[in-house]
A and B are shown apart, each in its own frame.
Chain A
Amino acid sequence: MRIGIDLRCTQTVMSRNRGIGIFTRAVMEHILRGWQHTDSGEKDEFFLIYDPSEADSTLKPILAEAPLDGCRVTWSPLPPSLQLAVAEPGMTVINGDFNAFLAGLRLDVLHLSSALEFDIRLPTHIVVCPYVVTLYDLIPLIYDRFFLPPSAPLRGRRYVERLGLVMRADHGIAISGCSQKDVETFLGVRPDKLSVAYPAADPVFIPRDSTYASVDLSPYGIIRPYVFSVTGSFTPNKSPELLIAAFAALPADLRTAHQLVLTVKLWPTMREQFMALAEKHGVAAQLVLTDELPLEVLLALYQQCSIYAHLSPYEGFGLPVLEAMHCGAPCVAANRASLPEVLGDAGLLVDPENAAECAQAFATLLSDPSRRARLSQRGLARAEQFTWQRTAEHYRAVYQQIGMQSNDPGELRVALWTPLRPTNTGIADYVEELLPYFAAWQRESHPMRVDIFTQSEPDNPFVRDNHAFFTPTAFEALHAWRPYDANIYQIGSTYAHHEFIYKQALKVPGIVVSHDPILHAYPATQVLGIGQREAYIERVIAEEGESLREFVRQALAEDAFWDALYHEYNMDKTLLRASRAVVYHSYYALRDAQQRLPNVSAFYIPLFSATPPDTFSAAECKRRVCERLCLPLETILVGTFGVMARKKRVDELIHAVSLLRRFYPQLALLIVGDVSSYNPVREAQRTGYSTERIFITGEVTMADFMTYLQAVDIGAVLRYPTLEETSAIISRLMGLGKPLIISDIPQFRELPDECCWKVPVNNSEVEVLALYLAELIENSELRAAMGYNALLYARTYMSPEYVTNLYRQVIDHEISGAPGPQAETHIPLRYRHQADLAVMMKQLRHHLRHDTAIAEP
């Protein structure tokens, strides 16, 4: 077996000499020393994962004392992105680098010794091996108002992500039954994936003997018998004020005869806080406050105290109680959380918030030395039950159980290459909206895991919680470890956002989802944009054929790149030939690809229409928008959406609206989107059109965007020229039951006429727009009927469930050669014919430009 152990908690300043670090060091020492290798003959190997930028692990010198007989050990340094000394990269990098690192180790099981500490960089997902986590406590979650306040959302977000990592572990080993129960209750982890292995105390903690009795505690101000506690700062789980209050409630004689000794890590101002509290309770003279102490002093404190008191309302285990028992100290502990598990009946359990009860317990013991002696003996016996050997044995069993189980959960593994938000692209929105439906479908019946490869640091909580997301560079290691069953590449025309996807799609064939079928931007951006004209020409020739050379040269010489080349030639043949399947969102694009490359495996999957948010009704949205714009409710709102550009033809829409205003004063045009690149209203004013009752919102939040979508009475989606892309706005509006006016371009033509009226892009465009708008303004029943048709169509053929099912069919085709989805199932013949005509016209247009005849189909 190959077992990885994350030892960073034995290195960090925060943990190495405290509970977690001490625990990890001790349990690992016993695990390694007691390891018996498996029957295969070859020794099992431990990979001790550490941060080379931090101090050496506290385990290192211990292991160096004597060789290990039962196993081999390899110290494995983490790559730079995971080292604390290196500025923290985004989680995408951490995910990728950590998993790639683990993939290289080829582990059978990984043990995360501290999954919830932020100074230990961990990914959100570990996909390359099963892993086990040590569960200490969920204190930040239980006391979330204190530890994860709304004022620190990032901290809360990070903690929740770490909890996700814990929840996905193959097994969790809690340090107490209480912690296990908390993980079951708060995280919903199944009990069969959890177990308990109690810590033990350092063997240095022993009862008083003549050796230690002589340690003089007077230099610490301890001059009388005392009640002792190792406590923490003023956090709700520690609440040292409860102990002070309890001590203050002692009868005066006992109070004055004893001191209260508190050992606590004294951060700045804490001493003053403790003293102020003690003052308040009138026990300042009895309080002795010490910072963390040398071990022999701590030992003496345990051994010489009259009572060890531990009144923390919440502990994951309560190691000081165990240490105190080992030292023979009679113990009083809170009857909360894990402390009853530790103390059992070897001490007194009290309600920590009942000062009188605590004081009574103290008084009872302080007044009764014989009882203290009995509890001391009982404590010593109980403490013997907690041993490192037992703990180590439990961990060994878990390693072997988890490490021996099949590493193949039998689910389909899909690598999804995509941009994600905050990258500003519609494809990111598309993927992020689709993924939850994939997840729902996966949960129901189709085991599939989708890992995401992306360049950005995703800010979508669903993505972060439910998907492992990696940098592209991690793919090689992950794919080598276990090849993905399918790769899905979401590709658009913006080269900067999709370059990494494009290159990967050429390297590892997969399923290309072509959102913008014309990829001319790629050679344009790569070579022409930096003046390499000849290289660009060669790229075009390589895609389209030598016989086009003269035309391309002429087009460049005549400065006709945009009209004659950019919007005409797809430049995607290299990509299509390299792909195992291609998905298009329009039947037109599908047919065009099939004509250009008959052997391509191409499929049609419509854009989906996400279920609208269940916040406000359309009527309420309209009321709000009208109120915001100071319009009467009777206003007929026509909306156009998205980042504004000339190709959105809003100028023509404004022209049509200005023609109609005289006859339809209730008409208003809403332009919802970013106008920083192109302001159609300004253009309209410049050309003399009236812009009365035309409103621009600028860029809006997603919530407001949805409100505007729901508020409009008529949607207008005009576009020309295009890169043959479809429109998510159309899908959204149809899903909201809105009648639509759209451009009569090939990829829009297949949308049903019953809900989408098409406007030709020619000299009659404005006139037809005006006629359509007039008809819809006048006829509310018609609007309602078209809206209903749109809703019906969207719910039948654009539902996310339908779309995800189509995706699965494509994936099945990719993996097993199944036929794949057939577009003809729901696109009527008349629309398919229109698409074929449009494809044919494009072909003829191109054929004429070639020097020689084109081979017949």
Chain B
Amino acid sequence: MNALMSEKEDCFGGQLRLAFVVPRYGDTLVGGAETFARHLAEQLVAHGLARVTVLTTCVNDLGTWRNELPPGKSYLNGVEVLRFPVAHLYRNPTRSSQLQRRLVQSGVLRVTEQFEWVEYLHHSPELYWHLQQNRHVYRLAFFIPYLYGTSYYGSMVNPSQSILWPCLHDEPMAYLAPTRRMLQACRGVLFNCPPEQELAQRLGIRPPRPYVVGGGFDDRRGDAARFRERQQFFDPFVLYAGRWELAKGVGELATFFVEYKKRRPGPLKLVVMGNCDASTVAHPDIIPIGFQPEAEKLDVYAAADALIQPSLMESFSIVLMEAWLAGAPVIVPRHCSVTSYHVQQSRGGLVYHEFEEFMTVLDKLSGDAAARQSMGQSGRAYVLREYNWGTVLERFRRALETWLSPS
């Protein structure tokens, strides 16, 4: 028991109330941050470690930001979910677009424009109001990820009770003054892995009470044969899993793979698992298989020679863990500090830089089954050692103790 808790509550008495503030929430959403939040919330509730209330919006589609889901209370897998509408109060959409464009393209906005940009994010005043009115109810509120209005303004409602779970990427928005202010004004910061924390340090951010926790995973295996039988797909393949969008590095991946195939004709395919518009992958060796149900996803990983994760914008990379759990090695760019960190720690894959190294790595893994198996097993051991739920919850518990202490 933690003596720092009040008599009526303790971390493991189930009465500690926490709020998780996330822009979207649901079990069909694709997104690392949303998935992290949901899994942790469900684990905390399932293990009776805390009573978690998810505060989220009525938005389902981040493209339109329309309030599609009904406001109010619901439950998902035992977790209480409160939905609040987003208020479309921004004043000048032309200006908003202009700032966004300049930020993404050049990464340069004047300081006042940076705060103006935050104002133009989508906000839920009712959600913030709920936080303010219930500041004595929730001991802590977790805001994930950093890039949304719900985090910037939500964490400002009761900063001394706010824990930022930023899922920081090395992108222009991470360099903004409002981001730095948000991450320094809160009570604590939860990072997914050491490289993410190092990134924060490089950005000059001095977060209070930082902790690295990471995502949790249950021990599962995939069945390669089941996948091949179901899909009637028997060629060797490397796998890409996730949103097929340029921000995820898929442009370079596609280019490299096509070039690789020119030089290495053969049966090797690139399978794309996730939301992918088939017209954007018009090549006979790139095979989109769409979104796969949770139960079948690991089978795909198990059948792959390797998972390729080309993205430079990762704060943890769930797909790496999933691939390793299934026994598949991974291929990641050297310059993604997060994924290359995992590879280095686990010895569960290879890194590349530029096409020549990409080709070498692909040759190695596609031609050496023993190496694939070895790396896959190393990766799996790494996941089960570092990111099993027991370990993750223990790290989270220690972090909670620090954040809840009065100092």
- Taking a contact as CB atoms closer than 8 A, the residue among B88, B111, B116, B153 that contacts A563 in the complex is B116
Known: A564-B112, A856-B158. A760 touches B89 (CB 8 A): yes
Binds B, one of A265-273, A432-440, A493-501, A836-844: A836-844
Tell yes or no: B14 within 8 A of A by CB: no
**B79-119 vs A: 1/0 string, CB under 8 Å?**
00000000011111110000000000000001111011011
CB contacts (< 8 Å) of A852 on chain B: these are 185
A-B contact pairs, 22 of them (CB 8 A): A554-B111, A554-B112, A555-B111, A560-B112, A720-B91, A762-B90, A763-B93, A840-B125, A841-B123, A841-B125, A844-B156, A844-B157, A845-B115, A847-B156, A847-B159, A848-B182, A850-B181, A850-B185, A851-B181, A853-B186, A856-B159, A857-B132
A-B pair number, CB within 8 angstroms: 83
Assembled-state Cα–Cα distance A850/B184 (Å)? 11
The residue that A849 contacts in the complex, of B91, B132, B157, B181, with Cβ under 8 A, is: B181
Give the shortest distance, in Å, between A772 (CB) and chain B (any CB): 17
Measured between beta carbons, the chain A residues less than 8 angstroms from B153 are: 841, 844-845, 848
Is A558 at the interface (CB under 8 A from chain B)?
yes
The answer to whether residues A848 and B91 also contact, given A836-B129, A853-B159 and a CB cut-off of 8 A, is no
In A546-594, the 8 Å CB interface with B consists of: 551, 554-555, 558, 560, 563-564
For A760, list chain B residues within 8 Å (CB): 88-89
Residues of B with C-beta under 8 A to A850: 181, 185
Q: Mark B178-192, 1 if CB is under 8 A from A, else 0.
A: 100110011000000
For window 143-182 of B, CB contacts with A under 8 Å fall at 152-153, 156-160, 178, 181-182
Say yes or no: A840-B135 contact (C-beta < 8 A), given A551-B111, A760-B89.
no
Q: How far is the CB of A549 from chain B (nearest CB, A)?
A: 13
A854 adjacent to chain B (CB < 8 Å)? yes
Q: Which residues of B contact A (CB under 8 A)?
A: 88-94, 110-113, 115-116, 118-119, 123, 125-126, 128-129, 132, 135, 152-153, 156-160, 178, 181-182, 185-186
A675 within 8 A of B: no
Task: Report chain B residues within 8 Å CB of A851.
Answer: 181
Flag whether A105 is at the interface (Cβ < 8 A): no
A853 touches B160 (CB 8 A): yes
Q: A762 CA to B152 CA in the complex, in Å?
A: 21
Across-interface contacts of A844 in B (CB, < 8 A): 128, 153, 156-157
A472 CB to nearest chain B CB (Å)? 38
The 8 Å CB contact of B178, one of A837, A848, A854, is A848
Q: Which residues of A contact B126 (CB under 8 A)?
A: 837
CA–CA, A841 and B124, complex, Å = 10
Further pairs besides A836-B129, A856-B159: 10, Cβ < 8 Å: A551-B112, A720-B91, A837-B129, A840-B128, A844-B128, A847-B156, A847-B185, A849-B181, A850-B181, A857-B132
Secondary structure at chain B's binding surface: helix, strand, loop or mixed? helix
Q: How far is the CA of A854 from the CA of B158 in the complex (A)?
A: 8
Given A836-B129, A847-B156: A563 and B112 within 8 A (CB)?
A: yes
Q: How many Å lie between the Cα of A407 and that of B200 in the bound state?
A: 75
**Once the chains bind, are A856 and B135 in contact (CB under 8 Å)?**
yes
B-side contacts of A761, CB under 8 Å:
91
Q: Which residues of A have CB within 8 Å of B113?
A: 558, 560
Return the chain B residue nearest A763 by Cβ: B93
Q: How far is the CA of A564 from the CA of B117 in the complex (A)?
A: 12
Q: When chains A and B are docked, how far (Å) is the Cα of A560 from the Cα of B119?
A: 15
Please determine whether A853 and B185 come into contact, CB atoms closer than 8 angstroms.
yes
State in angstroms the CA–CA spacing of A555 and B90 once bound together.
20
| In the complex, chain B residues whose CB is within 8 Å of the CB of A848 | 115, 118, 152-153, 156, 178, 181-182
- Inter-subunit contact A762/B88 (CB<8 Å): yes
CB distance from B111 to the nearest CB of A (A): 4
- For the complex of A and B, 7 pairs with smallest distance between CB atoms: A560-B112, A853-B159, A554-B111, A763-B93, A844-B153, A847-B156, A837-B125
Beta-carbon nearest neighbor of B109 in chain A: A558
> What residues on A are CB-neighbors of B89 within 8 Å?
760, 762, 841
- What size tier do the contact residues of chain A reach? 20 to 34
Contacting pair B111 A762 (CB below 8 A):
no
Inter-subunit contact A762/B93 (CB<8 Å): yes
Residues of chain A contacted by B111 (CB below 8 angstroms)? 551, 554-555, 558
Chain A 526-553, CB-CB to B under 8 Å as 1, else 0, gives 0000000000000000000000000100
User: Which residues between 758 and 817 of chain A lie within 8 Å of chain B, taking CB atoms?
Assistant: 760-763
Give the distance to chain B from A601, nearest Cβ to Cβ, in Å.
23
| Chain A residues closer than 8 Å to B88, beta-carbon distance | 760, 762
| Bound-state Cα–Cα, A848 to B89, Å | 18
- Report the Cα distance A848→B186, complex, angstroms: 11
Which one of A555, A763, A836, A841 contacts B112 once the chains associate, using CB atoms below 8 Å?
Answer: A555
Assembly CA distance A792 to B113 (angstroms): 45
Are A854 and B159 in touch, CB under 8 angstroms?
yes
Q: Which of A455-509 contact B (CB under 8 A)?
A: none
Please give, as numbers and ranges, the residues of chain A lying within 8 Å of B158 by CB-CB distance: 856
A845 touches which one: B91, B119, B157 (CB < 8 A)?
B119
Residue in B closest to A744 when the chains form the complex, CB atoms: B89
Q: How far is the CA of A554 from the CA of B90 in the complex (A)?
A: 23
Q: Measured between alpha carbons, how far is A734 from B186 in the docked complex, in Å?
A: 47
Which residue on B lies nearest to A853, using beta carbons? B159
Which residues of chain B come closer than 8 Å to A555, judged between CB atoms?
Answer: 111-112
The answer to whether B112 touches A840, judged by C-beta atoms less than 8 angstroms apart, is no
A480 to B299 alpha-carbon distance, docked (Å): 92
Contacts of B129 in A (CB 8 A): 836-837, 840
Choose among B93, B116, B123, B159 the residue with the greatest number of A CB atoms under 10 Å from its CB. B159
Chain B residues within an 8 Å CB radius of A838: 125
Question: How many Å from the CB of B95 to the closest CB on chain A?
Answer: 10
B110 close to A560 (CB less than 8 A): yes
CB-defined contacts of A845 to chain B, threshold 8 Å: 115, 119, 153
A762 contacts B92, C-beta separation under 8 Å: yes
Within 8 A of B (CB), among A598-634: none
CB distance from A554 to the nearest CB of B (A): 4
Give the distance to chain B from A110, nearest Cβ to Cβ, in Å.
61
> In the complex, are the beta carbons of B160 and A856 less than 8 A apart?
yes
Smallest CB separation, A653 vs chain B (Å): 17
B residues less than 8 Å from A554 (CB atoms): 110-112
> Chain A residue with minimal CB distance to B115?
A849
B119, A840: Cβ atoms closer than 8 Å:
no
Chain A: minimal CB distance from B132 (Å): 6
Closest chain-A Cβ to B123's Cβ sits at a distance in Å of 7
Residues of B within 8 A of A854 (CB): 156, 159
* Docked CA distance A836–B126 (Å): 10
The minimal Cβ–Cβ distance linking A48 to chain B, given in whole angstroms, is 67
Write the nearest CB–CB distance from A107 to chain B, whole angstroms: 60
Residues of A within 8 A of B123 (CB): 841
Interface residues of A in 121-177 (CB under 8 A from B): none
Contact with B along A733-771 (1 / 0, CB 8 A): 000000000000000000000000000111100000000
Q: How far is the CA of A840 from the CA of B135 in the complex (A)?
A: 14
- How far does the alpha carbon of A558 sit from the alpha carbon of B109 in the complex, in Å? 10
Q: How far is the CA of A555 from the CA of B114 in the complex (A)?
A: 11
Interfacial chain A residues near B91, Cβ < 8 Å: 720, 761-762
Q: How far is the CA of A763 from the CA of B93 in the complex (A)?
A: 6
- Closest residue of chain A to B126 (Cβ to Cβ) is A837
> Which residues of the partner chain A approach B178 to less than 8 Å between Cβ atoms?
848
Contacts A560-B110, A848-B115 given; does A840 touch B90 at CB 8 Å: no
Residues of B within 8 A of A847 (CB): 156, 159, 185
Expressed in whole angstroms, the Cα–Cα distance for A638 and B88 within the complex equals 28
Tell me the nearest residue of chain B to A851, going by C-beta: B181
Once the chains bind, are A840 and B132 in contact (CB under 8 Å)? yes
Q: Please indicate the chain A residues that have their CB under 8 angstroms from the CB of B92 in the complex.
A: 762-763
B88 nearest in chain A by CB position? A762
Nearest-Cβ distance from residue A757 to partner chain B, whole angstroms? 17
Please name all residues of chain A whose beta carbon is closer than 8 Å to the beta carbon of B160 when the two chains form the complex. 853, 856
A852–B181 alpha-carbon span in the complex (Å): 8
Q: Considering only CB atoms, which chain B residue lies closest to A833 in the complex?
A: B129
A763 to B92, CA, bound (A): 6
Judge whether B128 and A564 touch: CB under 8 Å.
no
**In the bound complex, do residue B110 and residue A558 qualify as a contact, i.e. CB atoms below 8 Å apart?**
yes
